Chain A
Amino acid sequence: MFLYYIALPFIAAFLLFLFSRSLSKTFHTGWLVAIVPFVLFILFLTNSSEISEGQPVASLTNWIPSMGIQLSFYLDGLSLLFTLLITGIGFLVVLYSVFYLSKKENLIHFYIYLLLFMGSMLGLVMSDNLFVLYTFWEFTSISSFLLIGFWSHRARSVYGALKSMMITVFGGLCMLGGFLLLWVATDTTSIREIISQKEELMASPLFMPILLLVLLGAFSKSAQFPFHTWLPDAMEAPTPVSAYLHSATMVKAGIYLVARLSLLFSGSDLFFLCVSGFGLVTLCWGSFMAVRQTDLKGILAFSTISQLGMIMSMLGFGSEAAIFAAVFHIFNHATFKGSLFMVAGIVDHETGTRDIRKLGGLMTFMPITATLAFFGTFSMAGFPLPIFNGFLSKEMFFDASLQTASPSGLARQTAPLFPYLAVLGSIFTFVYSMYLFFGTFRGKVQLHQLEKKPHEAPFGMLIPPFLLVCFIVVIGVLPNLINERLLAPAAGAIAGNSIHIHVAFWHGIKPPLIMSLIVVTAGALLFVFKRYWEIIYRYLPGKLSADKAYQAFLNRLLRAAKKITGSYMTGSLSLYLAIIVLFLVCVTAGMMAVTGGFAFSTADLSPVKWPEVITGVSMLIAAVATIFMKRRIAAVIVIGVVGYGLSLLFVLFRAPDLALTQLIIETVTVVLFLLCFSHLPVMKPNSKPLRSRVADVLISLAAGTLITLVAISSHSSKWFQPISDYFVKTSYSLGGGKNIVNVILVDFRGLDTMFEITVLGLAALGIYGMIKIRLRKKGGMEQ
């Protein structure tokens, strides 16, 4: 059943591709596309009542049964929350994009990528199988790459797309490694079965590598410090994409993974320290950096980073209250961040700029947008009013940071630090939220700096953010509305037992409220006096920015690769040959040394006779002399000595056919050499420097020595009788010939001969061709 749910966006994308030409230009393609998430949203809603009763729905289809990989999907509270976010916000985003993107854009591509993304995201949050999850995980990376680079004619878009691809795929591969180890350790690929084997896994030595690798994947996808650097650059994507992928869905894939596996990992100190530690660092660094941005979407990107850090840290805290707060904030963040991105898109659309230094005073021109932004930003800041859902989840966050489930050791000692970090991060969150709102909508209007005269956005563009803002307010006023149906089952799925927490605005004067008040006071003060302390940004990110680290790493990697390749791929044939020969010598000698292959035996040798020795010595002298010859004729004659010497040896060793052939071939070769000489340049002295000449000598001596040793060793250790007796016996009776060598050539092993003839024929044709081509060219030039 769920297979069809997940397949629906893919099928829709395919249909869009098929009918891309016949779609009329008169209406926006987005209207058609919007049907898909809407239908899916309704379908998932119908499942919600069963799930709120604690009964997950599952479906299973075979994919690669031989490896135990099945398309097994299931829907529990956590998956349901995510599927509703994906389809619900997906619907709103498509609606928004109808008004945002003009019909002149390449809409078919845009919606195909978006549908692919939606389908893969749904698959990701519903998979029960590790490897199916990984498959969809990488699908989201790829479709997000395509979406970020949608305006591929812009260099910044391409850069951002590439960067996000590299970082998320790096994390994805680490995660795959973790999954493989999980598979090895538990012998199953089903996540639910793996979780049921928690006890054994915790004791396994693979636990730590698994945990770290999986967390690397989750951190890089969810833009945690120090992998957050791709998210600000991904803001080059069209705004609907940023609103959808980079606030509500894809960046929460890592959160989802940590939440899904937290039943498996929770309770270990490492998980607690990593997840909450990095989460809090991300929260502080992201909110600190957000104040510095001048681009609306840049602020929102860093704000997303810091909010994701906050959710991540809550998942790390591990207490029931913290998990509930995390789920609550996942939902709240999706609502206010989605609406804020849409607002930023509207501002961009209606004024022509997103630079906050050029904006200001837009409240009078765009009152509705300003109202929407007011709710979004104040909810994000956690302003203590009961109409903002962000405040409720922030209160719960503070509460959770005070009551961490810190088991032991180092974790116990660091836990008391967490509330301070939480407050610090929230103060800066407050500052950038105020900066975002007041910088854009209040203050002086700078009409001369704007490309267009600002005016209110079209009605359709305002509806999606308006609906999201409705959620902000409704959840803010009635926080328990979605509690039983949505949040409690989701938190229950993460924690393993059902969690019921009553969310209320007023708890009485307790530490969380005091922390909130500190945040508001300090944040307001910092915001008002922002110009006086802004100077700190010159020193603090300074050289520490992750962006610079990424860039430096990439540059060094490329430079090093170029240097290494350039150092041996010089284009010099003799260098390549030297490497090949050296490698051969080292490997063979090493292998022989290791296996004790050297052998020397004088048991089975034929007696030494003088004629052979004299011939051999003269061949040796001639061969060495070839090297020193300064004239071509002399070189050919000397090499002729080697060849004729060899045929003499063939005579002495009783190989008449060989001697004949060698004689003829040697003669023909010498003639050929002489023929070519009249066309070739004279022999030049060896121009190599002395050092490389010495190296050449050493290399060739090593090769020669090795070949001698191998030959002697193999001759000294003959293990089997030769099969030649058979040829001798049957040469006449089977082959009908007395010359055994010839019978072997044309009868016993005739195939060799056939192809040797082919070789000769090909060589002849090749030579003919080479000469002929030249002639034809010359003729052509003459004409």
Chain B
Amino acid sequence: MEILMCILGGALFAAGIYLLLQRQLLRIILGTALVSHGAHLLILTMGKLNRGAPPVLGEGIGHYTDPLPQALILTSIVISFGVTSFLLVLAYRAYQKNRTDMMDQLRGTEDE
């Protein structure tokens, strides 16, 4: 199962990076979302999958899945959400100001 998840994570990264290489700001933001999904999936996979019960203590359970990666991912999800929302508003403001969201037109001036 881990191998399959690694492949899926890699595929999410590939799709995300392809979107990041595009010219429209919107696609780039979508790309960052895909890349962070891929990263979260990989963190979980690296902590081994399906090795016991959910990490909530209960009676008579011997094995739990690894709780540490889950805590890490939880932190990461929140942070990437914060960044994504900031990016979105940034894109919105950039579009309002410059009337374009094509990256090759948002280059700044020569003597910047």
Contact = CB atoms under 8 A, between A and B. Distances in A.
A198 B58 CA distance: 84
Given A661-B77, A680-B91, A741 B58 contact: no
B75 to A, nearest CB: 5
Main secondary structure of the interface of A (DSSP, over half): helix
Given A608-B4, A619-B12, A744-B68, A770 B93 contact: yes
Contacts of A636: 30
A83 to B, nearest CB: 51
A650 interface: yes
B50 to A, nearest CB: 4
Nearest to B110: A571
A699 B46 CA distance: 25
Interface string A700-734: 11011111110110110000001110011001100
B54 A623 contact: no
Contacts of A661: 74, 77-78
A350 to B, nearest CB: 48
A324 B7 CA distance: 83
A699 B27 CA distance: 17
A774 B93 contact: yes
A357 interface: no
Main secondary structure of the interface of B (DSSP, over half): helix
A626 B45 contact: no
Given A655-B65, A700-B17, A715-B45, A740 B55 contact: yes
A707 B19 CA distance: 17
A43 B75 CA distance: 76
Nearest to B106: A573
Contacts of A760: 78-79, 81-82
> Which residue of B51, B82, B102 has the most chain A CB atoms within 10 A of its CB atom?
B82
- Contact size class for B? 35 or more
Contact of B21 (A578, A613, A635, A705): A578
A604 B81 CA distance: 33
Contacts of A752: 71, 75
Contacts, number: 274
Interface string B10-54: 111111111111111011101001100110111011111111111
Contact of B15 (A623, A649, A658, A741): A623
Contact of A609 (B1, B26, B44, B93): B1
Interface in A638-685: 639, 642-643, 646, 649-650, 653-658, 661-662, 665, 668-669, 672-673, 676, 679-681, 683-684
A714 B46 contact: yes
A704 B26 contact: no
Interface string A605-619: 111110011001001
Contacts of B9: 707-708, 711
In the A-B complex, the 10 residue pairs with the closest CB atoms: A704-B14, A708-B10, A763-B82, A700-B18, A738-B57, A711-B6, A740-B67, A740-B55, A744-B71, A700-B17
Interface of A: 571-574, 577-578, 581, 602, 604-609, 612-613, 616, 619-620, 623-624, 626-627, 632, 635-636, 639, 642-643, 646, 649-650, 653-658, 661-662, 665, 668-669, 672-673, 676, 679-681, 683-684, 686-688, 696-697, 699-701, 703-709, 711-712, 714-715, 722-724, 727-728, 731-732, 738-741, 744-745, 749, 752-753, 756, 759-760, 762-764, 766-767, 770-771, 774
26 contacts: A572-B104, A602-B3, A606-B48, A619-B12, A623-B34, A627-B19, A643-B37, A653-B50, A654-B52, A654-B53, A655-B70, A661-B78, A681-B100, A681-B101, A683-B27, A684-B102, A688-B23, A700-B17, A703-B14, A707-B13, A712-B6, A740-B57, A741-B70, A752-B71, A760-B79, A774-B96
Given A643-B33, A706-B10, A745-B74, 18 more contacts: A609-B1, A624-B11, A626-B19, A626-B34, A642-B33, A646-B40, A655-B44, A655-B65, A655-B70, A661-B78, A669-B85, A676-B91, A700-B18, A715-B2, A738-B58, A739-B55, A749-B71, A774-B96
